Amino acid sequence: MAGKKTNFKIVFITTLLITFLLAANIPVWGNTPEFRLDIDSLKLSRGESTTLAVSIVNAQNAEIVDIEGIDNFRIVSTSTSDGTQIINSQVTHTRTYRHVIIPKFTGEFTLVAKIRYNGSIYETNELTVTVTDSPPAEEEEAKDLFIKTVLSENEIYYGQKAVLTYEFYSRFNIERLGFLDDIKLDSFITQEIENDNLSYDFLYINGKRYVKYIVKQIFLTPIKAGSFEIPQYTFQANVSTGGFFDSSKPYYLETEPVELKVNPLPTDNKPANFSGLVGNLNITSNYTKQQIDIKDSLTLEVTLSGDCDLENFKNIIQDEIPGFSVYETEKNSEEGVEDNKYFSKKEFEIILVPEKTGELEIPPININYFDTRTKTYKNLEIPGATITVTGNMPQSRESYDAPASADVEQIKIEQISYKNKDNGYMTIKLKKSVLYTVLIALSLLAIIVLSIIFITISKKKGDKNLGIMYKKIKKSTSIEEIYNVFNDMIKYCFNLSIKAGTRAAIKEKLSPYGISNSVLEVVDCVEGKNSDISTVKGKIHEVYKALSKLKR
């Protein structure tokens, strides 16, 4: 019994000692708030991205009211991080808001963040950022990451196609890349060249090894003449870092705007039956036979190729060929890029069926086009041919079907009468007044039913713009694009940017509508990078359903 009491005393004393030691080392929270504004680089060029960070130290309920001067920059992405540091038993809590920004203009711009804390407005330190024009190509190529805008031609004629190519160069391993913007050009019909596998090549620039990716190629068909600018677009590349939690780091670049001049076609000496072909045209042709039987046929094979747009060129034969029935088909058509230039090819098959025997002449066939090298209208000729058609003409069908006697009896019909049998039918006689009343009642009933259907469909349809944005989210495979469109969706409905706003501002704005928690869950998933794309889409779907109800 005495041994047990001794053990109890030892345990009790040990517990007191441990408690005392822990109490002596309890950290004390720092009381002095601090607000700081930092940037990766104070000197930027147009199209170059940098990270702007607003740090809030020891002020956990503080919120960003505004960042003066931020309107001169485009915010590409926003993220939030929290950190706690203990030094000499004093705890320092820091919340950092990071904005990846790209300058819109050149010049000097001042940035200051305003913070609301405990009812007062505080200002951070002031930063002055200098933005210059994009560097020359030589300086651009000295960077580890850069993107080029390449046009197959800087000047074309109306009726030609140009090729717009974006080439991305990197000295790092890339995990993911793509454009953050949709490429839209109002003055052109655009057709993106499908490429299932990302094209890349290795090369050396100034002695440094790069990987060149062809990230996008687009056919441009002008809809009018004039000078047009291909604007700049934002491009993202995720560089592999090899980290366990964050395996990549995003970098943002802007493409260089370029100008494409579209010249009108000259009217002097323009053929009345102009084919519409513009560029450099080649033609090959072949007659499969020179002698055939009257019961047989021959084929004229024609291939057009060059940098002309052959898409709307449908027929080789424009007029009849005496002595032949003509059946023309388009056998094969292709277009692509060769040496960064537009190329097209189209094959035609023209079947010629003789209508008589003898020596039948096929006249030469001319195809006119506008030659962009000589800047003149030209003709290409498919040679004619003399075809020998042998055999006996088959008897016409009329000779088999004709009657043996030419005597024809003429019959004159004076009158046709119909007998009303009413078999299987019942006739109902109504007064006109009763019939009119029934018709009016049915019309009113139809109007009521149609109105109910229209209202129901309108309610189901909801807001069209909201639906378009949600469809874009469903189709997207990029977290960044999904987040950008979701931000646009919230901004469209409530004039609130969830990327630039604080959690407190989001909650205050959206709480009356009952969706603040759902929206913040999406923000946490994306910015915390702890959810897959299907989870993010699922949470956005819940927000979309709530927004659809609000918009009805």
CATH number at residue 86: 2.60.40.10
Residue 453 lies in a domain: no
Q: Three-class SS string for 319-379? A: CCCCCEEEEEEEEEEEEEEECCEEEEEEEEEEEEEECCCEEEEECCEEEEEEECCCCEEEE
> What is the reported pLDDT for 413?
46
Tell me: do 108 and 153 sit in the same domain. no
Tell me: do 154 and 233 sit in the same domain. yes
Q: End of a domain among 91, 113, 132?
A: 132
Q: Three-class SS string for 219-272? A: EEEECCCEEEEECCCEEEEEEECCCCCCCEEEEEEECCCEEEEEECCCCCCCCC
Tell me: do 225 and 328 sit in the same domain. no
Tell me: do 284 and 207 sit in the same domain. no
Q: Which amino acid appears at position 185 of this protein?
A: L
Burial of 546 (0-12, 13-18, 19+ CB in 10 A): middle
Tell me: do 294 and 358 sit in the same domain. yes
pLDDT tens across the length of the chain (552 residues): 444 455 656 656 666 555 544 444 444 445 688 999 999 889 888 878 888 999 999 888 899 999 999 999 988 888 888 888 777 667 888 899 999 898 988 999 999 999 999 889 999 999 999 998 866 555 555 588 999 999 999 999 999 999 999 999 999 998 889 998 889 899 999 999 887 666 788 998 888 899 999 999 999 999 999 999 999 999 999 998 766 556 788 889 999 999 999 999 999 999 999 999 999 999 999 999 999 999 999 999 999 999 999 999 999 998 899 999 999 999 999 999 998 899 999 999 999 999 999 999 999 999 999 999 999 999 999 999 999 999 987 665 444 454 544 454 555 545 444 445 555 555 566 666 777 787 888 888 888 888 777 666 555 555 677 888 888 898 888 888 888 888 888 888 888 888 777 788 888 888 888 888 889 888 888 876 666 788 888 889 889 888 888 766
The two tokens of residue 464 are: 């069209």
The two tokens of residue 538 are: 């699922």
Tell me: do 214 and 313 sit in the same domain. no
Tell me: do 196 and 215 sit in the same domain. yes
For tokens 């913070």, the residue is 115
Residue 396 lies in a domain: no
How many separate domains does the chain show?
Answer: 4
Q: Residue 78 in contact with residue 96, Cβ under 8 Å?
A: no
Here the CATH number for the domain that contains residue 339 is 2.60.40
299 is in which domain, residue-wise? Answer: 278-390
Pick from 270, 269, 272, 268: nearest CA to 318: 272
Tell me: do 373 and 306 sit in the same domain. yes
Residue 63 lies in a domain: yes
> What is the reported pLDDT for 111?
95
Residue 457 lies in a domain: no
Bridge partners for 115 per DSSP: 64, 122
Residue 319 lies in a domain: yes
* Nearest-angstrom CA–CA distance, 40 and 513: 38
Tell me: do 126 and 141 sit in the same domain. no
Tell me: do 307 and 356 sit in the same domain. yes
> What is the reported pLDDT for 246?
64
Q: End of a domain among 343, 359, 390?
A: 390
Tell me: do 171 and 257 sit in the same domain. yes
Residue 443 lies in a domain: no
Residue 273 lies in a domain: no
* Nearest-angstrom CA–CA distance, 285 and 304: 9
Pick from 365, 366, 367: nearest CA to 352: 365
Give Cα separations from 480 to 81, 235, 417, 476, 519 (angstroms): 18, 11, 80, 9, 16
Residue 158 lies in a domain: yes
Tell me: do 234 and 151 sit in the same domain. yes
Q: End of a domain among 132, 165, 184?
A: 132
